[in-house]
Structure 1
Amino acid sequence: MSSNSPAFHRDSDDDDDQGEVFLDDSDIIHEVAVDDEDLPDADDEADEAEEADDSLHIFTGHNGEVYSLACSPTDATLVATGAGDDKGFLWRIGHGDWAVELQGHKDSISSLAFSLDGQLLASGSLDGVIQIWDVPSGNLKGTLDGPGGGIEWIRWHPKGHIILAGSEDSTVWMWNADKMAYLNMFSGHGNSVTCGDFTPDGKTICTGSDDATLRIWNPKSGENIHVVKGHPYHAEGLTSMAISSDSSLAITGAKDGSVRIVNISSGRVVSSLDAHADSVEFVGICGTGSKLPVGCNWKLGSEAHYMGSPAFFSPRYL
């Protein structure tokens, strides 16, 4: 879909819009430090005895690396996994003899998501195809196609069986999973769409891309309401996204180590959080909405990558 929206839109009569808020180190509530000396040395590890396995359950059905995992929102024992062996499985924690294989994908299963009522499971693959599964029976309900590249992520509408998926081909697709019907395609990003979601009220879609832009869409009309890009937004591609429970704010993390908070209604950057030196791997909002945790990967040594220091910010802009 084409966009005629400016990068940052501001209504002249909106006296309630707040200006940009740039947070510095003094605004960090708590930082968990990781000392290089506390990290295990590879040579020392080789000399140590094998550590005890504290896992509750081990599922061994895959023959390749596991790329995706989803837990049922209605059944604490039900788990779905997808891997580089082109296979997916539904299995239960504590039930080693029970598993349902999700067959039919022709490439690695890159994304999995249960519908909020737990009745349907969507599996997305690098072949650009999404399969919809009936969870109670384990049967394939149908196949959704259209994207010309691998599936990056899958999200379900908060109030129904509407599915949203981002693709490596820079497009976002929406289908009705009950009717197995195409609803809309959102185009405009210039690179892989790496993150996205419906707002909790279901009225808006936010998508982020490796092209360093955030796009805000009307899901019914397909209109691109806002495009957020350029200073003071991210300088490098987006990696992660979270949306506040009141559907007012989109929090995004990027490869440049930055986190930005955007007012969804206005498309304006309202806060800039810069506490990481490397790519932000996830962002989230705690249940109370009082703290925003973000985390990243820090490069320690020439090859090893360890999870770095998570920082907790207080969203004082609310």
Structure 2
Amino acid sequence: MNAEGEGMNNSSDDERDEGEIYLEENDIIDEINVDEEDLPDVGDDNEAEYDVDEPDDSIHLFTGHQGELYTVASSPTDAVLVATGGGDDKGFLWKIGQGDWAQELPARRDSVNSLAFSSDGQLLASGGLDGLIQVWDVSSGSLKCTLDGPGGGIEWVKWHPRGHVLLAGSEDSTIWMWNADKGTYLNMFSGHGGNVTCGDFTPDGKTICSGSDDASLRIWNPKNGENLHVVRGHPYHTEGLTCLTITSDSTLAITGSKDNSVHVVNITTGRV
């Protein structure tokens, strides 16, 4: 009994010894002195904040705006030419790396929230929440024309891939198309039941795709305004569309939605 008891006691001592680590002088590699003032107080819920000055490696900083920026566009023909617009109701043309050059586009009645250069870089379209689109001659900086018609703010503007035909989606559920060279209305596409949040010409210029807060994608013939397909309901998005892109061969539309999903639609058949 005693032997067994002693064995059990020794076993317990061994287990305790295995859980403890003892350091001797020759085990210490180096000592580091720590200033206790630099340590956070025990139980302090606030994380220590450290101000670190990091170098600004920006190529260019443009500070012309006095409010939030909503849109930016770069010229397809001039690598340093940029256009910006924002909540200060202003638009600017400026050049990267040329801090002493900028051209202000005259103030709007409301925020500038969409900009797009034409494919040849000659024209800049500026859409605003005032429901108007201004078209600017880039080389001269002069206003070429003002396009109206939509009954709500402009959500986006897009150019035809091979010409000065302009497309725009509106908060009033419609899409409008104009000839920017002549400043004339061409067509209006209606059918959506909510803000037209995204849209574009296909790269071949033969079709228009548009997405809306009504959770539908519509595919149009730009020549006669015919609605070729309406894509909605299961298995498509259950909430409003937020973004859209079209593949380079003009066959597929890829759409994103507030429902956290992405769908791919065949433009020819309208099938998901």
Structure 2 counterparts to residues 156-171 of structure 1, below 5 A = 156-171=159-174
Higher relative contact order (Cα pairs below 8 Å, separated by 6+ residues): 1
Residue equivalent to 2:95: 92
- Of Structure 1 and Structure 2, the greater strand share is in 1
Q: 1:44 to 1:166 in 2, by over 3 A?
A: farther
2:113 to 110, 113, 117: 110
Instruction: State the secondary structure of the residue aligned to 1:94.
Output: coil
What is the CA-CA distance between 1:52 and the residue it aligns to? Answer: 2.3
Residue equivalent to 1:245: 248
User: What are the superposed Cα offsets for residues 25-45 of structure 1, whole Å, 9 maximum, x if unpaired?
Assistant: xxxxxxxxxxxxxxxxxx769
Give the conservation status (yes or no) of the 8 Å contact 2:243–2:257. yes
User: What are the superposed Cα offsets for residues 2-54 of structure 1, whole Å, 9 maximum, x if unpaired?
Assistant: xxxxxxxxxxxxxxxxxxxxxxxxxxxxxxxxxxxxxxxxx769523233221
Give the conservation status (yes or no) of the 8 Å contact 2:91–2:107. no
2:129 to 126, 129, 149: 126
1:192 to 163, 177, 195: 195
User: What are the superposed Cα offsets for residues 68-107 of structure 1, whole Å, 9 maximum, x if unpaired?
Assistant: 1000000010000001110000000111111111114110
CA RMSD for the aligned pairs? 1.1
Residue equivalent to 1:228: 231
Q: Which stretch shifts more, 108-117 or 53-62?
A: 53-62
1:256 to 243, 255, 259: 259
Whole-angstrom CA distance in 2 between matches of 1:44 and 1:92: 42
- Indicate the structure (1 or 2) with the bigger Cα radius of gyration: 2
Give the conservation status (yes or no) of the 8 Å contact 1:208–1:214. yes
Letter of the 1:228 partner, please give it. Answer: V
Whole-angstrom CA distance in 2 between matches of 1:225 and 1:67: 32
Whole-angstrom CA distance in 2 between matches of 1:173 and 1:190: 15
Whole-angstrom CA distance in 1 between matches of 2:47 and 2:98: 36
Whole-angstrom CA distance in 1 between matches of 2:201 and 2:47: 47
Residue equivalent to 2:184: 181
Structure 2 counterparts to residues 17-166 of structure 1, below 5 A = 46-166=49-169
Q: 1:216 to 1:96 in 2, by over 3 A?
A: same
Letter of the 1:57 partner, please give it. Answer: H
Letter of the 2:258 partner, please give it. Answer: K
Tell me how many residue pairs correspond in the alignment: 227
Instruction: State the secondary structure of the residue aligned to 1:226.
Output: strand
Whole-angstrom CA distance in 1 between matches of 2:64 and 2:147: 25
Letter of the 2:67 partner, please give it. Answer: G
Instruction: State the secondary structure of the residue aligned to 2:100.
Output: strand
Gap runs ≥5 in structure 1: 1-42, 270-318
TM-score by length of 2: 0.82
Whole-angstrom CA distance in 2 between matches of 1:101 and 1:46: 40
Whole-angstrom CA distance in 1 between matches of 2:196 and 2:52: 44
Where has structure 1 moved over 6 Å in runs of 4 or more? none
What is the CA-CA distance between 1:201 and the residue it aligns to? Answer: 0.6
Give the conservation status (yes or no) of the 8 Å contact 2:89–2:110. yes
Instruction: State the secondary structure of the residue aligned to 1:73.
Output: coil
| Sequence identity (%) | 73
Gap runs ≥5 in structure 2: 1-45
Instruction: State the secondary structure of the residue aligned to 2:101.
Output: strand
